[in-house]
Chain A
Amino acid sequence: MTALAKIPRSNEYVGAEVPLVPSSVEEVRQGHSMSVTVENLAKDFGQTAALHGVSLEIAGGELLALVGPSGSGKTTLLRLIAGLDFPSSGRVLFGNEDASRTSVQERNVGFVFQSYALFRHMTVFENVAFGLRVRPRGLRPSGSEIRERVMNLLELVQLQGLDQRFPGQLSGGQRQRVAFARALAIEPRVLLLDEPFGALDAKVRKGLRRWLREIHDRTGHTTVFVTHDQEEALELADRIAVMSQGRIEQVGTPDEIYDRPSSPFVFDFIGDSSALPVVVENGRVNLDDRILSIDAKGQPDGPATLFFRPNHVRLAGQEGGALVGLVSGSRRHGDARRLELEVGMARHRFEIDVPADVDLPKRARVAVQVTNWRLFPA
């Protein structure tokens, strides 16, 4: 909280709905930790529906990730929360207040665009100060106040000394941080980030992820960020909402999402996974007429898909019910070796991780027991 502690207090702005300069740290937390509720939000673009009646509750102060493949509607949802687009139906609430009738200017959200959208004709300083300078006279801080706040922010994002540069003279990572500082300057109720690290190379991305988490912990803003990178979401977020084709598939903590995925899509999208078509009969699982030692009691009979992760297997001993396949490919995967196996007449493929020193030639026979799995009816 050091950066904010430097911002001077002032009670000048009587009448402002959200006090610009909070008079205590508690108010700061409250101002920034506005909860956001999305109620049955739908959006159509002509004939195509980008969002189908999505509902979501975002707690104040939490860092939530919207993850999904392109076309899943995550950016659409973000833009609807911001007010950059209008919903076909449903509404958005900030706290208890229905924001649907307000324009984006009025919502006081901090939006960071994927391409940063920095004002190229303005210096870094002018970019960050912009939101404060365009405030109507009554709500505008004085010149020296603006200056102090901007400099504090630049220090927060570690860009001190670059205030007189133009965006064209900065690196991608630096521009990202300017965009961030600019959004923070207006003391937003919610921070919305659209694929914030998408355009950066891997190393820079990793560093910035850590930095984002730190900033969030220090300032406590309610933050929603959109990403297609599930690893990033797992690493950063307090909670994750997995989206697909305009719907939210599952919302939960990273542990819940990773360990207890509630649908085939989530299982497949988050983390590595293998999937095999099986048939459930009387609580037993058959793969091509071979019974596997998987307890399916409680599962409905019929065709299903068996999901498991490559590292949730162990090489089988002599016991029956093992999953047997022939090696069709092998590659190094970090510390382990990832084997690609084929099973059955239809040659279904699945992957397992084995210790790196286990070396098996092609067409070698491998038997494994799955230690952790999910079954979803087909």
Chain B
Amino acid sequence: MSTLAIASWRRPSIIPGFGLTLGFTLTYLSLIVLIPIIALVLRTTALSWQEYWAIASSARVAAALRLSFGAALIGAAINAVFGLIVAWVLVRYEFPGKRVLDAIVDLPFALPTAVAGIALTAIFDKNGWIGQLLAPLGIQVAYTWLGVVVALTFIGLPFVVRTLQPVIVEIDREIEEAAASLGADRWHAVVKVIMPTLLPALLTGFVLALARGIGEYGSVVFIAGNIPYRTEIAPLLIVIRLTEFDYAGATAVATLMLAISFVMFLTINLIQAWARRRYGYV
């Protein structure tokens, strides 16, 4: 391998294996990820703009995207509020069983989505553990958009908690002492001094949970009911189009979802850049 020939774009190193590892990495990456994604984009371009727009704005697609996006938003918001409390409690307080609780926060991350799906459905079904408590009150969770929200809250739970925990650990106690010494009661100290420092991390966690929720499939399809225009999520719509061999329709919805995800992650990066500029940290 001639290091001289490619010295312009890399710094030469005495450690062998650059060509081999980078080559393998790029090949693997291309085969598994890049080429299929490019194929997806190509497939979409096979549609004319009019066809694309017709599919994208059709009532069913709009309803599915509204549900996926809306329920993910609500779920992420719930996680933002309660996740903040959970993260604070796990970092700042001591109580029996704390370690165990801290460990199972990762459960939605480790548990297969199908398992989560049937478990949540079993709980909130009319005859389920909690469903039977809510039925007399006229509240139905399973097979409604509420069920979708529940599932997406479950899925997004670790994102907010795990993003906030390290930041809460880093809080300088002296800042809190300074606020107290200046006469602030605990409420003011928390709201005016501590919360603002947690805001960037909270936002990041929120967007991560949101992004995950929009694309979620396995844990939702069991509890959702999947009625078109009402409780049908966008990923399910893609699957249905595929079973109909309507590749064009499927790819149209897929690229729409990808575009939205892209915007999400762009937002995260912008939030973090802003925080860095304003506060000098993230």
Contacts and interface: CB of A to CB of B under 8 A. Distances in A.
B9 to A, nearest CB: 35
Interface residues of B, number: 21
Given A120-B280, A121-B196, A166-B280, A108 B183 contact: yes
A119 B181 contact: no
Given A119-B193, A134-B192, A166-B280, A111 B185 contact: no
Interface residues of A, number: 27
A84 B183 contact: no
A104 to B, nearest CB: 5
Interface stretch (B26-34, B159-167, B169-177): B169-177
A82 interface: yes
A134 B184 contact: yes
Interface string A99-133: 00001110011110101011111000000001100
A110 B279 CA distance: 25
A279 interface: no
B177 A113 contact: yes
Contacts of B59: none
A179 to B, nearest CB: 8
Interface string B15-58: 00000000000000000000000000000000000000000000
A168 interface: yes
A365 interface: no
A189 interface: no
B236 to A, nearest CB: 43
Interface in B167-222: 172, 174-175, 177-185, 188, 192-193, 196-197
A168 B280 contact: yes
A48 B280 CA distance: 38
A109 B181 contact: yes
A118 B279 CA distance: 12
B185 A105 contact: yes
B279 A120 contact: yes
B99 interface: no
A249 B281 CA distance: 44
A113 B179 CA distance: 11
Interface in A73-90: 82-84
For A110, A118, A119, A166, the residue with the greatest tally of chain B CB atoms inside 10 Å of its CB is A119
A155 B11 CA distance: 52
Contacts of B181: 82-84, 104-105, 109-111, 183
A134 B174 contact: no
B279 to A, nearest CB: 5
Given A105-B184, A119-B193, A130 B280 contact: no
A103 B177 CA distance: 11
A331 interface: no
Contacts of A82: 181
Given A134-B183, A134-B184, A135-B183, A111 B280 contact: no
A135 B184 CA distance: 7
Contacts of B196: 121
A121 B177 contact: no
A182 B279 contact: no
Interface in A118-174: 118-121, 130-131, 134-135, 166, 168
Nearest to A79: B177
Contact of A134 (B188, B197, B280): B188
Contact of A117 (B177, B188, B197, B279): B177
Interface string B257-282: 00000000000000000000011110
Given A120-B279, A121-B278, A111 B178 contact: yes
A186 interface: yes
Contact of A166 (B175, B180, B185, B278): B278
Contacts of B281: 120
Given A117-B172, A121-B196, A134 B178 contact: no
B185 A117 contact: no
Contacts of B174: 113, 115, 117
7 contacts: A104-B181, A117-B178, A119-B175, A119-B178, A120-B280, A130-B182, A134-B183
